[in-house]
């Protein structure tokens, strides 16, 4: 206990006025703060309790009973911690300001003659200390909430990577503010050195891009689950905040439940990326299908065949033969034309049709490599099917 901050007569007047000041403060809050009027009844009662406790604490402050360090527990200990979710720090400061405005308006009535200036200064000092106490309460609440949210976020990302997306995962994602954001993709890359700092940067960039974002760390890999319009175009802006190396982007899927498919493709692509030394900083997992096949990924093999060999075979032998000859001739138009006994412009036209059909340009070194692997795998698959039919005795 320290020396009283006000004269004895002023303290007695303040003590007699606490009830009236509480009623006046509640009326003032009702009139001046729209958010207070909109609160549910339970939250309003909590706010009123804080206001009343603040006035009684001010009385103890004037008597020298309460020190600055105790204001957090005295003023804000009366309300549950859930109040920090109902009203923001800014609103809490508005609340403090509103209550003390009522006290300031009654300075002439409360302060003993000659103590008006000293009493006003005491009100200002108290308001400053309570504001600091409120900031501390909210900072502590945000720290605890942040730790819980980080744990929840990690659980959601882990579940998506395992392919365990279910209703529980959706509820956890909703608790993190995900809602029904769509479409969705997963991007993975090396973990940066300052992982906490860079993860915060990823969240800020994603927010500016209008994207929902869930982040997790798997060993040395940073996993980003992203959702929102134009999500595929936004990954390049996030890439600088990953570690050094390739950032692999999984395919776009319609909703969070399907994000496991995007995550598995992205993780497989990241594992396979070293097999392509010239890979760009940001690369789609589907563009790494040949390297993923080398890892023994059966879905990648089937996908590559479906994207290359099967459409060429269905389009007729002309396109398939042209591509195979073009690749066998070292991707030289004139040599291909001589081998096929056609004009070079005919070869050029057919290769253009292949690009339109598959989305892969045979004249691009990288995409020619994809086509070569896909066609080879397609022929192997066809041979395997014929072999199995023969061993079973099928006609």
- The model's pLDDT over 86-100, given as tens digits with 9 standing for 90+, comes to 666 667 777 777 877
Together in a domain, 289 and 316 = no
Please report whether residue 355 resides in a domain.
yes
What is the three-state SS of the chain?
Answer: CCCCCCCHHHHHHHHHHHHHHHHHHHHHHHHHCHHHHHCCHHHHHHHHHHHHHHHHHHHHHHHCCCCHHHHHHHHCCCCCCCHHHHCCHHHHHHHHHHHHHHHHHCHHHHCCCCCHHHHHHHHHHHHHHHHHHHHHHHHHHHHHHHHHHHHHHHHHHHHHHHCCCCHHHHHHHHHCCCCCCCCEEEEEEECCCCHHHHHHHHHHHHHHCCCEEEEEEECCEEEEEEECCCHHHHHHHHHHHCCCCCEEECCCECCHHHHHHHHHHHHHHHHHHHHCCCCCCEEEHHHHHHHHHHCCCHHHHHHHHHHCHHHHHHHCHHHHHHHHHHHHCCCCHHHHHHHHCCCHHHHHHHHHHHHHHHCCCCCCHHHHHHHHHHHHHHHHHHHHHHHHHHHHCCC
Together in a domain, 274 and 353 = no
Work out whether strand 247-249 and strand 184-190 pair parallel, antiparallel, or are unpaired: antiparallel
Please report whether residue 167 resides in a domain.
no
Q: What is the pLDDT of residues 305-335, one digit of tens each?
A: 999 999 999 998 799 999 999 999 999 999 9
Task: Report the predicted TM-score, pTM, of the whole model to 2 decimal places.
Answer: 0.62
In angstroms, the CA 225 to CA 255 distance is 11
Please report whether residue 175 resides in a domain.
no
Mean pLDDT calculated for residue range 349-367: 95
Together in a domain, 131 and 17 = yes
Mean pLDDT calculated for residue range 133-151: 57
Together in a domain, 90 and 203 = no
- Give me the domain span that covers residue 365: 308-392
Together in a domain, 378 and 346 = yes
- Here the CATH number for the domain that contains residue 233 is 3.30.70.2730
Together in a domain, 131 and 203 = no
Together in a domain, 314 and 283 = no
Mean pLDDT calculated for residue range 240-259: 91
Please report whether residue 155 resides in a domain.
no
Mean pLDDT calculated for residue range 46-52: 76
Work out whether strand 247-249 and strand 221-227 pair parallel, antiparallel, or are unpaired: unpaired
Of 297, 321, 346, the residue that ends a domain is 297
Mean pLDDT calculated for residue range 31-59: 79
- Here the CATH number for the domain that contains residue 326 is 1.10.10.2840
Sheet with 282-284, strands from edge to edge, namely 212-218, 221-227, 184-190, 247-249, 282-284
Together in a domain, 138 and 45 = yes
In this model, does residue 35 exceed pLDDT 50? yes
Together in a domain, 125 and 247 = no
Together in a domain, 283 and 313 = no
Together in a domain, 125 and 34 = yes
Please report whether residue 362 resides in a domain.
yes
Please report whether residue 158 resides in a domain.
no
Of 123, 144, 165, the residue that ends a domain is 144
- Neighbour-count burial of 187, counting CB atoms closer than 10 A to its CB (0-12 exposed, 13-18 middle, 19+ buried): buried
Of 144, 166, 193, the residue that ends a domain is 144
Q: Which range has the top average pLDDT, 174-178, 253-257, 376-380?
A: 376-380
Please report whether residue 247 resides in a domain.
yes
Together in a domain, 275 and 368 = no
pLDDT band at 387 (very low <50, low <70, confident <90, very high): confident
* Tally of structural domains, the chain: 3
Please report whether residue 70 resides in a domain.
yes
């Amino acid at each position: 206990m320290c020396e009283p901050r006000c004269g004895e007569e002023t303290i007695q007047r303040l003590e007699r006025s606490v009830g009236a000041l509480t009623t006046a403060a509640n009326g003032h809050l009702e009139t001046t703060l729209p958010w207070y009027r909109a609160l549910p009844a339970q939250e309003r009662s909590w706010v009123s309790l804080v206001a009343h406790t603040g006035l009684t604490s001010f009385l103890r402050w004037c008597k020298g009973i309460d020190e600055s360090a105790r204001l957090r527990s005295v003023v804000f200990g009366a309300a549950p911690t859930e109040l920090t979710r109902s009203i923001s720090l800014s609103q809490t400061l508005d609340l403090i300001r509103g209550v003390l405005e009522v006290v300031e308006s009654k300075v002439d009535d409360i302060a003993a003659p000659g103590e008006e200036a000293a009493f006003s200064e005491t009100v200002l000092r108290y308001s400053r200390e309570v504001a600091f106490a409120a900031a501390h309460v909210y900072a502590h609440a945000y720290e605890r909430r942040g730790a819980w949210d980080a744990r929840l976020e990690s659980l959601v990302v882990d579940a998506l990577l395992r392919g365990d997306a279910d209703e529980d995962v959706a509820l956890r994602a909703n608790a993190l503010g995900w809602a029904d954001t769509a479409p969705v993709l997963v991007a993975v890359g090396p973990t940066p050195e300052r992982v906490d700092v860079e993860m915060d940067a990823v969240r800020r960039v994603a927010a500016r891009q209008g994207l929902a974002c869930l982040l997790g760390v798997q060993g040395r890999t940073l996993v980003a689950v992203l959702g929102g319009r134009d999500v595929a175009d936004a990954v390049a802006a996030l890439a600088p905040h990953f570690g050094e190396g390739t950032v692999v982007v999984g395919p776009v899927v319609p909703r969070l439940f399907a994000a496991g498919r995007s995550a598995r493709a992205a993780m497989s692509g990241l594992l396979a990326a070293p097999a392509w030394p010239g890979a760009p900083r940001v690369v789609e997992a589907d563009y790494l299908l040949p390297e993923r096949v080398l890892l023994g990924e059966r879905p990648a093999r089937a996908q590559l065949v479906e994207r290359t060999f099967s459409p060429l075979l269905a389009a007729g032998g002309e396109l398939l033969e042209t591509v195979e000859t073009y690749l066998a001739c070292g991707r030289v138009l004139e040599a291909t034309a001589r081998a096929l006994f056609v004009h070079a412009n005919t070869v050029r036209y057919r290769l253009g049709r292949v690009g339109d059909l598959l989305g892969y340009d045979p004249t691009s070194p990288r995409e020619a490599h994809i086509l070569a692997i896909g066609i080879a795998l397609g022929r192997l698959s066809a041979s395997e099917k014929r072999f199995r039919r023969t061993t079973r005795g099928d006609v």
